[in-house]
A and B are shown apart, each in its own frame.
Chain A
């Protein structure tokens, strides 16, 4: 139906700057107005409620100030008028790997997940710029009622499930960037796992920005119905362009009673990407949500995955690793909103600042009145590698009423010169020694990760440590 709609429309496909080597069939042009929204809705053939939703979101986005009263002033360097908000060649991803362009295959290998390893995955989706180019899931899962499609497909094909939760975990006005995403979102995954279905293997998504001056705004919604289990993994990369690129995703997770969701991110955007992402989950009774969040790339990342612990005995966890090298600011953290009795949350954050890199932890733990038996434990450890590195920690903890317990600890340490010398004396280069120390620092956390990712993460750390010394 959607393709029919598009063919009936007069769409200006020449709009925008075509001075780049990659030509897109669909291009919303530069800058963001209500016309841009209409263009995206028309191209994607979306229903009216989404059109309305997007227009409202744009107004919210325009009305909200930049959060520079607490966040990095670097945000002021994003020039919204110069960004391209929608670029694609087609609206439907292929279901066959053979039809996937070679560069996608190549980038998969670069991420360290070669094709043969994909057999460990239950499903894969790959997004280039605004739309998914490849999306496939093991047939058996489909037979069990599991849905794993792009968000565009999800909202059109499964409106009854999609509409119920879309924008409910993260309302449009949550922050300026969630409003931006709500206005121009495209791509991302829609996943539904029926009651009792436990996925043995992870679902994998891969996001790549291929175009300069571009903003990627994927939107992911995962619903794990009662007693089901799912693990979702995402990887992000982009080539390095002269100008800054914007990535601003919204990810909503819903874990129904007794469900378990694990969401793993290895973010390795190039060092000129503004990565401003809102991620939040709702955990119902006895549900468990675990965010595993690794931020290696980007120029500025602002991301604080959260869990709203809405049902009794729900459990939330954020395990976070951030590595900030020269010119990078990893501003990451976690939010735990306790909203029911006996809910527990755990946050472990490890950050490494190298060269002139800066890492920041921001946390929010909220236990309101009249709750009983809630517990939070937070640990933040920062490692500084050089004298110009910087690390900050800004947690905010509110507890009302006795009967709950919250514990927050943070520490800052260095790789000691003595330690490095010791390893050098045993024949390791300084970079190898440094790499070993850094891996040691994050090791206990990495052990919690799925195996494929812990290997990948170690490799990325080694890569970052090369040339970071001296």
Chain B
């Protein structure tokens, strides 16, 4: 095969995978090669920097040097009260620890493919991406080697959070982290994915996370993206919520050079709810391209999206969000809010908040604001003796922290607040 990115498909390691999966990977590789590259005429790539997603310089990550593992393990801190952790380096497992209630499965995806093959097959990338990255989804399917498989049986509440670390090491490497969460009826679980680089080199991360929230189940998920500043990142998140289910999805966008994130919530059953939260800090020449869909397919569903972007230097963000209410999804509540804080004269924020309402008796609204630090807030802080630079940081932190305050898990929130403060302190 000519495309370097697709090498894994024929690698010896893939021979141990189930037949259906090998077949899927082969077919996906063909699909990846045959699908056209996106163009800006495509509405879902409007304003996008398409050159940034030319992936020919990357090859699948080489096996990780084991002697460096110790360093990464010490850096894999995350939250202190986690009841289970998986650590991957270049898509290879380097550590797994867990103390979990009976029946809960928390395994590397590669293992789950053999131990829980049917469950994986029934849920693995079941819906095509709705927001433009069909080609990149095909790439991920063709090349995924590992990731997190989390299964929570009916009625089981996992109190303490679980976490997975994905490390990317070495130049020109591509990783394909995958997360599959299946929370059965009336279960409850919290998972954090930490995406970080071992060094500052360039690389590609093409990840997918799929959350299946069962009837009356509750899933809280955090994706903390802090790749090196040279990484190209394409991340696709799909959340399926069944009747009465409840999903809270928080995304931190801090790292990467160009990061494209697509996040979809399918509200499939009556009474389902999805909260979609994101915080982006963009500086230097970073570009964050965020596309979202709140897809209401059933009546009495609700969704609430709050995305906040703080932009420094010549950074650029794109937010394109759509609330879609299908014809039968009456009595829907759907809200969407994006707020951009411009902290330099060169930063650029693009907002495209969209609505498509085909049902009756809905309460829907969206709002998009772009502005700078409020001068009166600044003066109020200064009048208390707080130095201008600190006042800027504090107001910016407060602006972003409003999003974090909506995330219900304290230990995770505090950990993230600390890294956010550290990030902002650099400005």
Contact residues of A between 66 and 90, Cβ < 8 Å to B: 69-70
Q: Is the CB of B42 within 8 A of A394?
A: no
Residues of B contacting A412 with CB < 8 Å?
355, 357, 362-365
Chain A residue at minimal CB-CB distance from B354: A394
Interface membership of A335, Cβ < 8 A: no
CB-CB under 8 A from B361, the residues of chain A are 414
**Residue numbers in A under 8 Å from B47 (CB-CB):** 396, 398
Closest B-chain residue to A372, C-beta based? B345
Residue of B nearest to A69 (CB): B41
Whether the Cβ atoms of A387 and B365 lie closer than 8 Å is: no
Contacts of A407 in B (CB 8 A): 367-369, 371
Contact with B along A3-16 (1 / 0, CB 8 A): 00000000000000
Contact (A405, B345) CB under 8 Å given A384-B360, A387-B330, A395-B352 = no
Nearest Cβ distance between residue A221 and chain B, in whole angstroms? 31
Bound-state Cα–Cα, A318 to B308, Å: 28
User: Are A390 and B355 interface neighbours, CB within 8 A?
Assistant: no
Interface residues of A in 93-107 (CB under 8 A from B): none
- Verify if A160 is at the interface (C-beta below 8 Å from B): no
Contact B371 A404 (CB under 8 A): yes
| CB closest residue in chain A, given B343 | A402
On whether A402 and B349 interact (CB within 8 A), knowing A70-B43, A410-B355, the answer reads no
Give the chain A neighbours of B393 by CB distance below 8 A: none
A201 within 8 A of partner (CB): no
Distance between Cα atoms of A408 and B345 in the complex (Å): 21
Give the contacting residue for B357; candidates A369, A382, A397, A402; CB below 8 A.
A382
Interface residues of B in 316-368 (CB under 8 A from A): 327, 330, 340, 342-368
Question: Complex formed: what's the CA distance from A113 to B395 in Å?
Answer: 56
Are A408 and B327 interface neighbours, CB within 8 A? no
A410 CB contact (under 8 Å) in B46, B340, B346, B365: B365
Is the CB–CB distance between A387 and B343 below 8 Å?
A: no
Tell me which residues across on chain A come within 8 A of B366, comparing CB atoms.
393, 408-410
Contact of B415 with A by CB under 8 A: no
B111 close to chain A: CB less than 8 A = no
Q: Given that A393-B355, A412-B365 are contacting pairs, would A399 and B370 also be in contact in the complex, using a CB cutoff of 8 Å?
A: yes
The digit string for A345-381, where 1 denotes a CB below 8 A from any CB of B, is 0000000000000000000000001100000000000
B298 to chain A, nearest CB (A): 15
CB distance from A359 to the nearest CB of B (A): 10
Contact across chains for B355 and A402 when beta carbons are under 8 A apart: no
A243, CB-defined interface residue at 8 Å: no
Distance in Å: Cβ of A395 to nearest Cβ of chain B = 6
B372 contacts A by Cβ under 8 Å:
yes
Min C-beta distance of B182 to chain A, whole Å: 34
A56 to chain B, nearest CB (A): 24
Q: Contacts A409-B366, A413-B363 given; indicate if A397 touches B355 (C-beta within 8 A).
A: no
Given contacts A393-B355, A408-B369, contact A401 B362 (CB under 8 A): no
Check A391/B357 contact, CB under 8 A, given A399-B370, A408-B351, A408-B369: yes
Q: Are A396 and B352 in contact (CB under 8 A)?
A: yes
Bound-state CA distance A390–B353 (Å) is: 17
CA distance A408 to B347 in the complex (A): 19
Chain B minimum-CB-distance residue to A413: B363
Mark interface residues in A399-437 (1 if CB within 8 Å of B CB, else 0). Answer: 111111111111111100000000000000000000000
| Bound Cα distance from A395 to B330, whole angstroms | 24
CB < 8 Å neighbour of B344 from A384, A394, A401, A404: A401
B367 to chain A: closest residue by CB: A409
- Give the CA-CA distance A161 to B206 in the complex, in Å: 58
Tell me the complex Cα distance, A382–B354, Å. Answer: 13
- CB neighbours of A408 from chain B (8 A): 351, 353, 366-369
Closest to A376 in B: B370
Q: How far is the CB of A445 from chain B (nearest CB, A)?
A: 18
Query: A175 near B: Cβ within 8 Å?
Result: no
Complex Cα gap A402–B343 (Å): 6
The answer to whether B345 and A370 touch across the interface, beta carbons within 8 angstroms, is: yes
The smallest C-beta distance from A172 to any residue of chain B, in angstroms, reads 20
B contacts, CB < 8 Å to A:
41-43, 46-47, 327, 330, 340, 342-373
Known: A382-B355, A397-B351, A404-B370. 18 other contacts (CB 8 A): A369-B346, A384-B362, A388-B327, A390-B356, A390-B357, A391-B355, A393-B355, A393-B366, A394-B352, A397-B350, A397-B368, A399-B342, A402-B344, A403-B372, A405-B370, A406-B368, A409-B367, A412-B355
Q: List 6 A-B contacts (CB under 8 A).
A: A384-B360, A397-B350, A400-B346, A406-B369, A409-B366, A414-B362
A interface with B by C-beta (< 8 Å): 69-70, 369-370, 382, 384, 386-414
